[in-house]
Structure 1
Amino acid sequence: MNPNADRMRDKPGRTKHVLTAVLVLLLLWGSYAQTGSSITALVQGLPNMLELLREMFPPRWSYLDNIAGAMLETVRMAIAGTTFGAMLAIPVSLLSASNVIRRGWIFYPVRLVLNLIRAIPDLLLASIFVAVFGLGVVPGIFALSIFSMGLIAKLTFESVETIDPGPLEAMTAVGANKIQWIVYGLIPQVSPSFISYVLYTFEINVRAAAILGLVGAGGIGQYYEKTLGFLEYDKTNTIIVFTLAVVLLIDYASTWLRGKLG
């Protein structure tokens, strides 16, 4: 065994790590310079941050009676948006999969639309629908539905393209039509992943729905805007703690369900 040869094999690895570290530092420095960040301003603002934290404690627990209904409305928005988005995602994911729709002039434009949908933040979607439908939960549901459709369809069509082609080829050989091919050959292989994606999207939507009220889309977010506007930081802290508890509970339940289904 030649020790020099071992050192030569290790050298490219070390060089790669050094170059990666240098690149990361350059990106951090460039971002810091271009955004006009200032460590001095951060240090000077620390007393104000500490004062804000002092005003947030203790939380005003009596405010829970005012926000319980809004939190329930937020969860309902997430459920409705996820459900409608999942329903829309089924045909869209099939149209995006190259092993289902073998014509590029169909699945490439559908994928492009999915990319455009995922590029739009949910808050911007909610703002657009608030302008169309007015204030309330309806714009929030529409925004979450579009967001959910883009995310679930993207994940699902990628799973469709990685399924085992054996059963599908066997069904084609015995004369199965396209509908039978999808129902009996494709869906059984993809449905566990699809359900997992829907539950994962629901977790994200609960968090997103909690802030859509900032643009007038209903839910608990409107109370964030109200309490912050009146500088009632103890009430804001109550909302934060309540939202965190609900999100953690839903995350735990969703993780448990995914484990059972997986």
Structure 2
Amino acid sequence: MSLGSFFSFPASSAFFDRKKDDGVIDNPNVELVNRNLWSTFLECGTEMIITKKGRRMFPLVKLKLSGLDKNSNYTIIMEMISVDKLRYKFWNGNWIVAGVGEHHPLPTCFVHPQSPRSGEWWMTDGVDFKMAKLSNNPFNNDGHIVLNSMHRYNPRFHIVRADSSGQPILASLKTFSFKETEFIAVTAYQNDVVTKCKIDNNPFAKGFRNIDTVRKRKMNQIISTPPASEDEEPEVKRTKSEIEAVMFSDPKVPQMSLQLISQWQEALLSTIVQIPITNQKSSSERKSGFGVVDLLGSS
């Protein structure tokens, strides 16, 4: 979905004409606040989890805005753009091209829920997209950004002024992007380095930070995928050794004493062959209680 169709404007409309203007003079500028964190992930190849129900991004996108007109209202939009038309796979510790990419699903735009707001408000509080969720379900009705797994994306950010009725003034549209925010969409983390980096930097994944120590102490411990935020449950997975232990473990057979087995054999023979049971102990010698012969009846 293009930004033009997102605003319900056809390709030949004023979206490309840009003649309509409200006369406001501004010079929007956007700065990536947590650039260093994004750069750390970019070095090892940033991965973002996508699920049917939608998953929040980490690192979060945090922006600082400047150059806006304080009295005008603005709408902020994040749009996911395919970096290329290729599909990737993780092989021997590296991402390599696996073939031609799939057709891009819809939608790919997320309007910041605080939009529209005054330029003064945006420049004071800044922008983050913590409410945006990434999904691989093209039929979701929750407004999630739909992506293809194993494809490379980079978000770009649009700032557009809105008139008094909240409608965008398309002639004011400004677009920004950052190389550091590039990532590959995955349904499960492929690179252990990325997993460790997310655990080390995500405040909601602090329970996973001693995972190496735990693994050494307890080899069969259940390992989980760290959550992206505090309101999401971790995805629990069993280790290979744990699954094999369940599949190939010997069933527990109840142990029977030799004396009890012998009683069963003698009792069965006495009812089938109709011969007296020999070498039985007298009733006075037998232990008190209800025996096997009592169940089958004596001949």
Using the size of structure 2 for normalisation, the TM-score is 0.19
Larger helix share, 1 or 2: 1
Higher relative contact order (CA 8 A, sep 6+): 1
Higher-Rg structure is 2
